[in-house]
Amino acid sequence: MRKQLVVISLLLVVSLLAKGIAAKAQELPQISSSVAADTMWIGDQTIYSIEIKKDVSTEIGLPQFKDNKLTDKIEIVEGPWVDTISREDRNVTLNVNYKITIFDAGEYVLQGFPIIVGEGEKPDTMFARTVNHLFVKTFEIDTTKQEIFDIKANLDTPITWAEIKEFILSWKGMVVLGLMILVSIGIWFVIWMRKRRNGESNKPKEPAHIIALRAISALERKKVWESGKVKEYYSILTDIIRVYIENRYGVSTMELTTPEILNAVKELNSEKQYRILEEILSDADLVKFAKHIPSPEENAESVNIAKKYVEETKLIIIEETEQKDESNK
């Protein structure tokens, strides 16, 4: 009888340990990696993506690469930034991207991307098990067989009125012209209805950049991050930028994701302005969704970057004044 009790007790202990190990295994993040293209030309660029599936409570951190290099030959051009984010119940999927380039031809193996899991003095490090192969090609020109010529200029072939008239009078031209008229009427009607519904009272009484800079300065003075509210600090900062974009360009951004906002202003901003906005939103996404904990210096610098974007994109109104030119009298 005693032997049976001992056996039953041992079985219960083993069962509990197995359940504990299984539960812990379920909490561990799942990491995989991929490259946008498995073949590229030397000096070209491609995207190296890391997909992380984790529980919403699991804290993770991204590695810091020395000299912005994944390896001795693979350089990081941009990143990391959070491209897509999805959530289902307690399961969160993060997609962290790096833009990379290689200047030596050959075959490269990308594997074992590290992720820091947990907090405290001894966090765990997990590695992606996916093995990605990247082939970098180059080409050689045999100048003894192939003569090199200068680039020829484009041929100047202006469109003639006869071609325009022929297209307009065709059924395709009639359809295009009709659609353009309908679209124009639709746009005019929407603008007219919006002005009639909202009136002029909804327009900001002050320029958009004045409102945004005042809000950023107020947030800077509060130093919310010093009380541990880092996520709240970056949420407020990005909301200020969203409202500024809406007031400045008329683009509703409060319900848009980071990629959607960047896509909406891509044609409105210069390359420099676009990169500043991308840095602001991507850094905020890393804090809000990837549990990234920035340094106090990074927190302070974030408001400077936000101010820089507003200053770079603010609308400058030049008031014309009539002055008498005494010399022309």
- Tokens 């804290």 correspond to what residue? 59
Q: How confident is the model at residue 22 (pLDDT cuts 50, 70, 90)?
A: very low
Residue 190 domain-assigned (yes or no): no
- β-pairing, 131-137 with 39-41? parallel
* Model confidence at 41: pLDDT above 50: yes
Q: Does 133 share its domain with 231? A: no
Q: Does 32 share its domain with 129? A: yes
324 against 88, higher pLDDT: 88
CATH number at 38 reads 2.60.40.10
Residue 21, H or E segment: helix 2-27
* Model confidence at 326: pLDDT above 60: no
CA distance 62 to 292: 8
- Tokens 């590290």 correspond to what residue? 114
302 neighbors 295 (Cβ within 8 angstroms): no
* Model confidence at 293: pLDDT above 50: yes
By CB neighbour count within 10 A (0-12 exposed, 13-18 middle, 19+ buried), where does 258 fall?
Answer: buried
190 against 320, higher pLDDT: 190
Residue 113 domain-assigned (yes or no): yes
Residue 151 domain-assigned (yes or no): no
258 neighbors 274 (Cβ within 8 angstroms): no
* Model confidence at 26: pLDDT above 70: no
β-sheet with 114-117: strand ranges across: 60-61, 114-117, 124-127
Q: Does 33 share its domain with 127? A: yes
Contacts 24+ apart (CB under 8 A), 116-119: 116/60, 116/61, 116/62, 116/63, 117/28, 117/29, 117/58, 117/59, 117/60, 118/58, 118/59, 119/59
Residue 101 domain-assigned (yes or no): yes
**Which residues, at least 6 apart from 261, have a Cβ–Cβ distance to it below 8 Å?**
242, 245, 253, 277, 281
Position 110 scores a pLDDT of 85
Mean pLDDT across the chain, nearest whole number?
79
* Model confidence at 128: pLDDT above 70: yes
Q: Does 220 share its domain with 121? A: no
* Model confidence at 197: pLDDT above 80: no
24 against 292, higher pLDDT: 292
Residue 187 domain-assigned (yes or no): no
Q: How confident is the model at residue 323 (pLDDT cuts 50, 70, 90)?
A: very low
Residue 10 domain-assigned (yes or no): no
**One-letter amino acid for residue 30 of the chain:** Q
Domain housing 107: 28-137
Position 6 scores a pLDDT of 47
Start-to-end CA distance of the chain, whole Å, equals: 125
Residue 239, H or E segment: helix 230-249
Query: pLDDT by residue (tens digit) across 142-195?
Result: 666 667 777 877 777 778 888 787 877 888 888 888 888 888 988 988 888 877
Q: Does 302 share its domain with 219? A: yes
Position 135 scores a pLDDT of 92
Query: pLDDT by residue (tens digit) across 206-251?
Result: 888 999 899 988 888 887 777 778 888 888 888 999 999 999 898 8
Domain count, the chain: 2
Query: pLDDT by residue (tens digit) across 74-92?
Result: 888 888 887 767 777 778 8
Residue that terminates a domain, selected from 137, 169, 193: 137
Residue 234 domain-assigned (yes or no): yes
Residue that terminates a domain, selected from 137, 154, 186: 137
Q: Does 121 share its domain with 38? A: yes
Residue 172 domain-assigned (yes or no): no
